[in-house]
Structure 1
Amino acid sequence: MEQAEIGLIGLGTMGSNLALNIAEKGHRIAVFNRTTSRTDAFKANAGELSDRIVPCHSLQELAAAIRPPRPVIIMVLAGTPVDEQIAQLREVLSANDIIIDAGNANFRDTIRRFKELESTGLTFIGMGVSGGEEGARHGPSIMVGGTEESYNRVEKVLTAISAKYKGEACSAWLGTDGAGHFVKTIHNGIEYADMQMIAEIYGVLRDGLGLNPKEIAPVFDTWNTGRLNSYLIEITAKVLNADDPKTGKPVVEIILDRAGQKGTGKWSVIEAQQLGIPATAIEAAVAARVLSSLKTEREAAEKAYGDLGLGRISGDKDALLADLELALFAGKVAAYAQGFAVMSGASQQFGWDLPMPTIAKIWRAGCIIRSQFLDTIAEAFSAEDNVANLLMTPAFIAMMKEAHPALRRVVARAAEAGLPVPALSSALAYFDAYRQGRGTSNLIQAQRDFFGAHGFERIDAEGAFHGPWGSNG
């Protein structure tokens, strides 16, 4: 029997969809699931693709079914289950075989696993996959970290199954060990910020202008035809237009306002802090999700404070809608600038040499934050070497000069109306602080020196100095 080109372990929703995608693109794939009945059912339900699927009932059978060097994709829960699966695979795989973790792993775990396998003859790939269930089935964005040699073994399959943007595959090797999973983490951090800002704009439209979901949906639909064209804006319009079959009400109105999270947003914030690179819009978005989970406390606070006499925003509706569009765009610019700055810092810290234009390009289709805006980012990185921050590239300077006044007006009017816009506010504060040549940290340095003798730098001399606090104390 012809051997499979690749193997896959874990036939949950994502694993099943990825396996079907691989088979559909013409590659024979061996599959294994701990519950053998699921493996058999998967092949039985694969229809015309079943001939390219090799069901295996043991890991030994799986290894025997794959053409060496054997690449095996793991699609199991992140954390300990991945380590357990790797330990089991080490008993059946041979030198030069490749274990591929395609889950949402912490990149530091990926670095550890990569190093642990180096002395065994096996190699490890940490592969970020973005696009959800639909992406896994029909074309995700794929971010690969590992040795270039191991990527070359699976490049043909990954290129075939990835999303395509104007004929270009949205899959790439980004660097060694944890590079792929780190880029996926920052992708998700930007996604958090993007979603939070959209939700904040929705809140202004709902609570500030008193619009219902069916009135708000066309607004996002229209924005999706312009500078905000993106997957998240597109689905926002669809979500707001959808009705609940049970009640007949707009489905968004019967959903509890308590957002979940799986950890990648938090990881992106932690790593930004570790690297000393501000990612304030992402931080605000993660904090907003945490605050949303405090549903009981928020309801109690609403009763305690009562009606503050705020809420509605008056004035020219069309002018406000135009401001909201530009404000959302400005916030998006800041969030992406922060995310790419974090990746740039990590690239230096971990020696990855991350290809920034390539990252922007492979995010243009398949992934959750895909948008036309990423073309501009790719061009900005391609036009200049060593871009410190996207906000300093000509295209972004022009965009922010146009958009920041609207962001400023929206944040101010939302604050006056008592409408929370934490991510948009953080984006504005970041922009203002970033463009301020003379800030206020001189006072902080004076305070630090006063109570801790930490010293400070002078504007008129080199070296470390202390203030005359003793004589003033």
Structure 2
Amino acid sequence: MTATAQIGVTGLAVMGRNLARNFARSGCTVALHNRTEARTRDLVDAFGHEGAFVPTRSPEEFVAALRPPRCLVVMVKAGGPTDAVIEQFARLVEAGDVIVDGGNAHFEDTRRREAALRERGVHFVGTGISGGEEGALLGPSIMPGGSAEAYRSLGPLLERIAARAPDGAPCTTHLGTDGAGHFVKMVHNGIEYADMQLIAEAYDLLRGVAGLEPAEIAEVFRRWNTGRLDSYLIEITAEVLTHTDARTGRPFVDVVADRAEQKGTGRWTVQTALDLGVPVPGIAQAVFARSQSGHARLRRAAASLPGPGAAEQAPSRMAADEAERFAAQVEQSLYASKVISYAQGWDMLRAGSEAYDWGIDLGSVAAIWRAGCIIRAAFLDRIRGAFTERPDLPTLLADPQFAQELGEAQDAWRGTVAAAARHGVPAPGMSGALAYYDGLRAARLPAALTQAQRDYFGAHTYRRDDREGTFHTRWGGDRTEDRTD
């Protein structure tokens, strides 16, 4: 077979198929391979008119169809299947060729695979792709790691198919070596969990406290989407809330089971944050909220627990002007909590970059998330600006503009959290974000008592504010203090 293809895609389920079509539409000649040949034929039969495809029947044909240095994209199920496919093609390619894993792999697996292939002279590029099925076809946000040399071959191809930010820039960039790309995608998904949880809480408050109906709440979200909360997730929330179930005539949101599932990337984010010692309670609360929603047995057992007294029960419906004021208050709380969650995500990006020596440009991450991805939002351009202007910014919350907005929002934010508590509406994301904010701004935390307790029961020692060194008090004796360092 003549080597004519600039890029190849193996694994032609929905994401792989749409990615291959995107490459073809952008002018690339695309080699196609799938474990079952029928799926390859189906793609060419249905979409062959969109560009130049080279269908192949075997791994050997697939590799032979690619121009050197060969670039092939693996789009198969994460875990063992990915390892099997990588090994299959690693035996067929040559030194200098590039194998791309576009699935949702754990970044530690990517680091392992990259190191193994590097020894064989093959470039391995773990690449996060966000935007779902539609994004894969029309332009996703693409987060590649791997070597700089690999990106020189692969980068121009990825830039062709990536989403375009409002300023026209492609939403992809080289993020760092080995697992950097999949690490950034993992954090993206963690922020996505937090964002979705906060939006769900805002909906629940508008319904459970203000008494608004889903279609009315949709109009509130549409208004918010014209301002600083302008984002893909706010936009689709309004669409979901206006949808009516054809079978029952009820609001669609009322017939969907209230159990939110997860594929694991949010959980990975929290686990990795614990390993790095980075507090990401906004993401953790979202992960745990999904877990709680699925524990039907626990929820049934606790369903009869008492809630707010009759005096604190939400009215059946607020008056129009009162509902408008409450919606404005919830908007402030949602925005402030959203900023907190994104700040936690960027704290984790910095910590991961330092721990693994990736050199991730924090401003560039915000830049490539401005379009294509699930968390795309107008205020990402401001995050990009904050970290571009000050690459050493210790936290997004130290940016003067964001700090000012949080200060201006805090009264409404506190009022929203208080209203949620009074009326028994669970708001772990908003209340946790406020607690994080107050924890950072506190002049002194009760952690001093926690450390003293640790010294009492386990002789774990402590430090003092007024002297250098490490100390232990003889709690079971005369309570004298010893310096232990």
- Matched ranges for 1:45-444 at <5 A: 45-49=46-50, 51-165=51-165, 166-303=167-304, 305=306, 309=310, 311-312=313-314, 316-444=322-450
Identical aligned residues as a percent: 48
Tell me which amino acid in the other structure corresponds to 1:363: W
- Aligned-residue offset at 1:246: 2.1
Answer whether contact 1:192 1:286 (CA < 8 A) is retained.
yes
Give deviations 1:38-82, integer Å, cap 9, x for gaps: 111110100422x51111110000001010111110100111100
- 1-side partners of 2:215 and 2:352: how far apart? 43
**Structure 1: 5+ residue runs without aligned partners?**
none
Structure 2 counterpart SS, 1:4: coil
Contact residue 128 and residue 185 of structure 2 kept, 8 A: yes
CA distance in 1, matches of 2:434, 2:406: 11
> What are the residue-to-residue correspondences of 1:9-28 with 2, within 5 Å?
9-28=10-29
Question: 1:471 Cα shift?
Answer: 4.2
Once residues 454 and 299 of structure 1 are traced to their aligned partners in structure 2, the CA distance between those partners, rounded to angstroms, is: 42
Q: For residues 215-243 of structure 1, what are the alpha-carbon distances to aligned partners after superposition, in whole Å with 9 as ceiling and x for unaligned?
A: 11000000000110000000000110111
The change in CA–CA distance for 1:306 and 1:466 in structure 2 (over 3 A counts) is: closer
Question: What are structure 2's unaligned runs of at least 5 residues?
Answer: 480-485
Q: 1:118 offset after TM fit, Å?
A: 1.2
Residue 472 (structure 1) shift:
6.5
Counterpart of 1:441 in structure 2: which amino acid? A
Give deviations 1:345-391, integer Å, cap 9, x for gaps. Answer: 01100000100010000000000000111011011111113111111
CA distance in structure 2 between the aligned counterparts of 1:469 and 1:184, rounded to whole angstroms: 48
Alpha-carbon displacement from aligned partner over 1:387-424 (angstroms, at most 9, x marks no partner): 11111111211111111222111111101111100111
Q: Specify the code of the residue in structure 2 equivalent to 1:128.
A: G
Partner SS for 1:45:
helix
CA contact (8 A) 1:376 1:395 kept: no
Query: Cα deviation per residue 1:141-168 (whole Å; 9 max; x = unaligned)?
Result: 0001000110110111100100001211
Moved more, 381-390 or 304-313: 304-313
Could you tell me whether the CA contact under 8 Å between 1:446 and 1:467 is conserved in 2? no
TM-score when scaled to structure 1?
A: 0.97
Q: Is the contact made by 2:308 and 2:422 (CA closer than 8 Å) also made in structure 1? A: no
Distance 1:445 1:253 in 2: 47
Range moving further from structure 2, 305-314 or 373-382? 305-314
Tell me if the contact between 1:107 and 1:182 (Cα under 8 Å) persists in the aligned partners.
yes
Distance 1:132 1:105 in 2: 15
Q: Tell me the C-alpha RMSD between the 2 structures.
A: 1.5
Report if aligned partners of 1:311, 1:419 keep a CA contact under 8 Å in 2.
no
Number of residue pairs matched? 472
Q: Deviations over 1:229-286 (max 9, x none)?
A: 0000000001101112222222111100001101100011111111111000100000
Segments of 4+ in structure 1 off by > 6 A? none
CA contact (8 A) 1:207 1:311 kept: no
TM-score by length of 2: 0.95
Q: Secondary structure at the match of 1:99?
A: strand
| Aligned partners of 2:9 and 2:72 also within 8 Å | yes
